[in-house]
Amino acid sequence: MSRDAIAYRLRESRRARHVLLRVTPHDGLEVIVPRGFDVTKVPGVLERQEEWIRGALERAERQRRRAQPAPVWDIPPRIELPAVGITWEVSARETDGRWVAVRTVGPTQLEIVGRITDAPTCRKVLAKWLVRQAQEHLISQVQALSRQIGLRYSRVSVRLQRTRWGSCSPGGAISLNARLLFLPPPLVAYVLVHELCHTMEPNHSEEFWQLVQRHCPVYRRLRTELRTAWKLVPRWASDDRYQRVPG
């Protein structure tokens, strides 16, 4: 079972007698609880229903994509990465080749060169560039934080995940979403703490959240903010029809 948190919206209902889970293409996962329900029990409910939730979220995402027209592709004029405090200015230069490449031409300047009218290829190379940036910056943050709080992991990798900011395997292997680069540093730090704590506590038990609070006292506020953090990801980097990167 994966150990990453699932984003959801919480709603209290006077008519509800039990916890209800609802997944829609527009709202994602909504957790409906009876009035007076102990919300600290919600993570445990989600963990027990994780397989169903993941499947429902994937089906809802496919429905959402089918219902919306494919977005028009434009090379972004700049790429802001709040997680590391860097803004890249982007220029484009068309050549006769069939290839597309992303080149660093200055400290914070990128140039996209080649067949820049080939949208799928441009999207792919930018996605790979984003993963490389995350590998350069996020992996070192995990290493530093691991030493600081004394929680060890086996390895860390970076991918472009669809619904997760991060995850931790039973063997302590952490996987991070490259799109974390679009989040403010406090949210990124919370995700890293969350996954490192999973190396000690494999589920969202009371002991797990106590460990998280020890290393991130304001985790409740950050966890709430993280539920809507996908809106911080620019559209060119968040829509699956923009980029499909193998592996």
State pLDDT tens for residues 115-146: 888 888 888 899 999 999 999 999 999 999 99
Domain boundary among 31, 50, 67: 67
Mean pLDDT of all residues belonging to the chain: 88
Q: Is the pLDDT of residue 50 over 50?
A: yes
**Which comes out higher in pLDDT, residue 126 or 66?**
126
* Boundaries of domain holding 46: 9-67
Please list, in sequence order, all residues whose beta carbon lies within 8 angstroms of the beta carbon of residue 220, skipping any fewer than 6 positions away: none
**Which comes out higher in pLDDT, residue 153 or 69?**
153
Q: Is the pLDDT of residue 242 over 70?
A: no
Instruction: Examine residue 31 and state whether it is found in any structural domain, yes or no.
Output: yes
Domain boundary among 21, 47, 67: 67
Q: What is the pLDDT of residue 247?
A: 24
Q: Is the pLDDT of residue 167 over 50?
A: yes
Q: What is the pTM of this model?
A: 0.71
* pLDDT single digits (tens) 3-23: 456 788 898 988 888 899 999
Q: Is the pLDDT of residue 147 over 90?
A: yes
* Domains: count for the chain: 2
Instruction: Examine residue 79 and state whether it is found in any structural domain, yes or no.
Output: no
* pLDDT single digits (tens) 180-196: 999 999 999 999 999 99
Q: What is the pLDDT of residue 239?
A: 55
Q: Do 139 and 230 share a domain, yes or no?
A: yes
